[in-house]
Amino acid sequence: MAVTTSPPPISIDELLERVRSGLDRVTADEAYEAAKSDAALLVDIRYAALRERDGLIPGALVVERNELEWRLDPWGSHRAAEATGHDLRAVVICNEGYASTLAADSLRRLGLHRATDLIGGFQAWRTAGLPVHRP
């Protein structure tokens, strides 16, 4: 009988560092320019209360975090129309740039090899003075 061992536990900070080292994370200005030129799809995973409080990024696809993989899997039966293929450059946006890192990693595991996230999240977008739509 083969004995398997689990990897040693790590902290969330270490996990974020490991995941981020494999992502080509973008700044708010880079994300804005990529979206403006149709080179990337912005995906807002913030929960409804934050979107209502702070507003929306014009043109961003809003997908609750718990639905993200189902909506962006190009092979999935519940995919969004924007989930056009595994080459899609999706820039995941959360509130401050933490949950989006883990979400982008999950998308990469599905084969979306260009998935990444926005450094600093929506708050960095807003601080940069980029467009925000109030619902």
Within a domain: 90: yes
Residue 77 binned pLDDT confidence (cut-offs 50, 70, 90)? very high
Taking Cα atoms as reference points, which of 65, 57, 63 lies closest to residue 31? 57
Range of the domain at 103: 14-127
In a domain, 77, yes or no: yes
The whole-number average pLDDT for the span 26-52 is 97
Residue 16 burial by Cβ neighbours in a 10 Å radius (0-12, 13-18, 19+): middle
Does residue 4 have a pLDDT over 90? no
Number of domains the chain contains: 1
Asked whether residue 28 is domain-assigned, the answer is yes
Residue 22 in any domain: the answer is yes
Say yes or no to pLDDT of 3 above 90.
no
Q: Read off the CATH number of the domain in which 114 is found.
A: 3.40.250.10
